[in-house]
Structure 1
Amino acid sequence: MQQEKTTWLNLLSVSLPVKALFTGYLLVVGLGLLMAGAQIMLTHGMADGKFGLSVDDIVYSYYGNREGSKLESKLNGSMKDKATPEENLTLIKWARTGASEEEWKSTIKPIVDSKCAVCHAHIDALPNVTQFKTMKEIAKVDEGASVSALTRVSHIHLFGIAFIFFFIGLIFSMSVGFNRWLKALLIFTPFAFLIVDIASWWLTKINPNFAYFVIIGGFGYSLASTVMIFSSLYQMWIMPWRGQQSEQNTWKDA
């Protein structure tokens, strides 16, 4: 296959300040992707109560665990260690028996105030579970992420992550030695898998069998981004140095 022609604007020839700019961006974005992976492991990855992302975690997060309430799913998953096992069991039994307001006042609210209010009553992004009306909704059968939540998160991810992939692809487009079709495919791949990822959230909400596509989408754009990041860093810093070493060795042997 024919390689793309090397132009004057490439990663080997850009100035040192530009290399510093590109390198800083790629390092920070790479670290951000790692933190995003860690955050997924600590939230979605605990949906089934076990550490590590699985298909069940995806199903519970988007389709829900329709054999129980969202409250029960959280208490058996990411919120399991926030209260004692006895307190968690009390909350689960309350949800399963209809979540009465009388028991809420006498038994449940004191537990919530002491173990949950420290975050849920002071962070706007979290539901205020110290209010009976809010807790009553959470105690209903778990149908996964709501349409409003999916809409909000989807548009944030589509806009925000697309910008990240745009600049990674822009820097990688200045690389040399790649066939132009392979380069174009690598640049486009993260965007395609991002669409697959977001679309599969909605599809999993309807049918849990689409949960596999959430994992495929996330893995696909992460792998393509990693290849572009490391290729760009290699060509900016290691490739020119190896070229200089080769020229010096050739001069010595002459």
Structure 2
Amino acid sequence: MAEQPPLHRLYRHYSELPYSQRVLYTMTLLVLGLGYMFALLYIFHTYAGRGTGNKMMLSYEDLVVAYSGSGKGSRLESALRGPMSNMLPADETSAIIAWVQQGSDRAKYEKDVKPTIDKRCLGCHDGSNPHLPNLSSYDNIKKVTEQDTGTDVFTLVRVSHIHLFGLTFIFFIMGLMFTHAYVRPVWLKCLIVALPYVSIVLDVSAWYFTKLFHPFAWVILFAGMLMGASFAFMWVVTMYQLWLSPPPAMVAERLGGDTAIIG
């Protein structure tokens, strides 16, 4: 077996850290893991079934419809069938969709649609939030009954900066804890630290490109899976080496065989 390169002078394994720092890492991992799980559930709920109607699976077609539109129905119809599907009773949703498909007649709006919109939607869509469609009048609703072209560019810009900042902080924290892990070869460890950032850039960039060329939706799927796999690998390795695995031989040798450091 080839001889391993010596440990870097600044490298500290988890077994060399004080217990207070190890507990801090552990609690951070638990909360981040819980948060990541809820984020995945939210993404699944938001996008699954947008293109195929199958809410039990997130597919390529769902992402194409979400980012570039169906090219058939209206934005309002896509929202009612997708992320807003649980906000209205099924009969009221069907009535609004039928009104849209029949041409969005104003008289029928005043009689059948407006009462539902006023009751169910205006709490959020009253025009006070510039990032949500304003549904407070017929003219405003008419704008979202036009052909569905997917998420608009300015919404993507708003969500992009949130993702870029938020995920960068999350993976900085994860990566910082993971740097204490003993993983060889070192280039593999560096690759694992870098992969989430590559995934973030691929994911966000593909949102825009999917509007121009649908196959970029595969990049969104691939980047999301790569990001999730990186998170899971760093989480499991960090938690395992924090508490369950014995210190590597090179670390134990450096400590003179005494790894019970308490601080």
**Does structure 1 residue 55 correspond to structure 2 residue 65?**
no
**Contact 2:127/2:136 (8 A) holds in 1:** no
**Does structure 1 residue 219 correspond to structure 2 residue 219?**
no
- Identify the residue that residue 164 of structure 1 maps to in structure 2: 170
Deviation of residue 195 (structure 1)? Answer: 0.8
Q: Structure 2 CA distance, aligned partners of 1:170 and 1:185?
A: 14
Which residue of the other structure, out of 193, 201, 212, is the alignment partner of 1:195? 201
| Matched letter for residue 50 of structure 1 | N
| Aligned counterparts, 1:137-148, within 5 A | 137-148=143-154
Match of 2:234, SS state, is helix
- Identify the residue that residue 248 of structure 1 maps to in structure 2: none
Q: Structure 2 CA distance, aligned partners of 1:3 and 1:136?
A: 68
- Identify the residue that residue 258 of structure 2 maps to in structure 1: none
Quick check: 168-177 or 93-102, which moved more?
93-102
Match of 1:12, SS state, is helix
Match of 2:16, SS state, is coil
- Identify the residue that residue 16 of structure 1 maps to in structure 2: 19
| Matched letter for residue 228 of structure 2 | S
- Identify the residue that residue 66 of structure 1 maps to in structure 2: 71
Quick check: 34-43 or 68-77, which moved more?
68-77
Which residue of the other structure, out of 16, 38, 41, is the alignment partner of 1:38? 41
| Higher share of residues assigned helix | 1
Structure 2 portions without partners, runs of 5+: 250-263
- Identify the residue that residue 79 of structure 1 maps to in structure 2: 84
Which residue of the other structure, out of 86, 99, 107, is the alignment partner of 2:112? 107
**Does structure 1 residue 179 correspond to structure 2 residue 185?**
yes
Give the TM-score taking structure 2 as reference length: 0.83
**Contact 2:199/2:224 (8 A) holds in 1:** yes
- CA 1:232–1:99: 2 relative to 1, 3 Å: same
The CA RMSD measured in Å over matched residues stands at 2.4
**Contact 1:70/1:138 (8 A) holds in 2:** yes
- Identify the residue that residue 158 of structure 2 maps to in structure 1: 152
Cα deviations across residues 129-173 of structure 1 (Å, max 9, x unaligned)? Answer: 233233222111000010100101011101110111111111111
Equivalenced residue count is: 243
**Does structure 1 residue 25 correspond to structure 2 residue 28?**
yes
| Matched letter for residue 190 of structure 1 | P
Deviation of residue 240 (structure 1)? Answer: 3.7
- CA 1:241–1:192: 2 relative to 1, 3 Å: closer
Which residue of the other structure, out of 239, 242, 254, is the alignment partner of 1:236? 242
Q: Structure 1 CA distance, aligned partners of 2:156 and 2:41?
A: 21
**Contact 2:13/2:247 (8 A) holds in 1:** no
- CA 1:4–1:130: 2 relative to 1, 3 Å: farther
- CA 1:224–1:68: 2 relative to 1, 3 Å: same
**Contact 1:4/1:178 (8 A) holds in 2:** no
Deviation of residue 112 (structure 1)? Answer: 1.5
- Identify the residue that residue 133 of structure 1 maps to in structure 2: 139
Q: Structure 2 CA distance, aligned partners of 1:82 and 1:231?
A: 40
**Contact 2:182/2:248 (8 A) holds in 1:** no
| Matched letter for residue 37 of structure 2 | L
Q: Structure 2 CA distance, aligned partners of 1:14 and 1:232?
A: 13
Structure 1 portions without partners, runs of 5+: 244-254
Give the TM-score taking structure 1 as reference length: 0.86
Taking only the aligned residue pairs, the percentage that are identical comes to: 32
Deviation of residue 71 (structure 1)? Answer: 1.4
